[in-house]
């Protein structure tokens, strides 16, 4: 998170100082790090990227099995 905010701070500062190339490098780095950290945060060793707690189909199957 520190790296992401550092690159964003650098991008904003470069943009304000009209350093176009440096702004783009920092902005792209920030964007890539943000996407990476987001995917890393939501991935679970058990569920992967799935969200079984909102899987209504699974609930229906279990209900049918109990009946």
For another protein, the closer of residues 42 and 61 by Cβ is 42
Q: What gap in Å lies between CA 10 and CA 61, rounded to an integer?
A: 52
Buried b / exposed e over 13-27, threshold 16 CB at 10 Å, is ebeeeeeeeebeebb
Minimum separation from the CB atom of position 64 to another protein (A): 20
Q: Confirm or reject binding of residue 61 to another protein (CB under 8 A).
A: no
Q: Which of 51, 58, 60, 62 binds another protein (CB under 8 A)?
A: 51
At its nearest, how many Å lie between another protein and the CB of residue 4?
6
């Amino acid at each position: 998170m520190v790296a992401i905010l550092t690159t964003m701070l650098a991008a904003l500062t470069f943009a304000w100082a009209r350093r176009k190339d440096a702004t783009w490098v920092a902005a792209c780095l920030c964007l890539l790090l943000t996407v990476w950290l987001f995917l890393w945060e939501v991935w679970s060793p058990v569920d992967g990227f799935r969200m079984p707690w909102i899987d209504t189909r699974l609930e229906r199957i279990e209900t049918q099995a109990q009946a």
